[in-house]
Amino acid sequence: MKKVLLIGAQGMDNLGDDYMYSKIATYLKENNCTVYASNTKTDFYFEDLCKKNDVIQIPILQYKNKVDLICRIVKEYMKNIFDAVIFIGGGYTNDYFGFHWLMQLLLITLAYRKSKIIFTGQTVGPVFSKKSERVLKTLYKQADFISVRDSESHELLSSWGIDNKLIGDDAFLDTEFKLKIRNKNVGNQKRVVIVPKSFPGYEKYM
């Protein structure tokens, strides 16, 4: 069986992130993959999802300091050589999450560079500092495949010379949901989904 590590903002009291994680984990399990999940903390809903999907949790991102983080990555790497590392969708590669968070993600991609590195449904930015920009460029250049969910992220990565596909949000990986929409007669109505961001400076991404 293929071994796949999922990394993202799941387990952080955000139902949307947990939902996207659940759809990807379910798909992988149905295709004979052993699924591992790394998270910063675990809420009750995420714990339940892991049990239902028979997902193995590993505490790579639960660390005390930089040395502890590196030791955890090395320890998990020695135990588990993954076939693929998937950074699931979301908007967590930006300066609002902090420079140290971006460095954590970069360390993981470098540690697992022998695995296939995949980013899905990403929102990239806002990026305000040159050092964060350098880290993000290095981070995404490790990827074998990148999909983004908005045109601004597509244009930003393209301006950095990084190949990416504008596909959409991971939530729409739910095929049953897509079928319900496709089979529903909505006439001439136009439906708009608005996802407000609480971060200042996000207006240009709306």
Each residue's pLDDT, cut to its tens digit, for the chain (206 residues) gives 899 988 887 766 667 777 788 788 888 888 999 888 876 555 555 666 666 666 776 665 556 666 666 666 666 666 667 899 999 988 889 998 888 889 888 888 888 888 999 999 999 999 999 999 999 999 999 999 999 999 999 999 999 999 999 998 887 776 554 444 445 554 566 665 555 555 555 555 44
Strand (E) or helix (H) holding 18: helix 15-30
Q: Which of 3, 25, 168, 164 is nearest to 85 (CA)?
A: 3
E-assigned strand segments in the chain: 2-7, 33-38, 56-58, 84-87, 90-93, 116-124, 145-148, 165-166
The encoded tokens of residue 75 equal 């320890």
E-assigned strand segments in 60-174: 84-87, 90-93, 116-124, 145-148, 165-166
pLDDT value of residue 174: 64
**8 Å CB contact between 127 and 96:** no
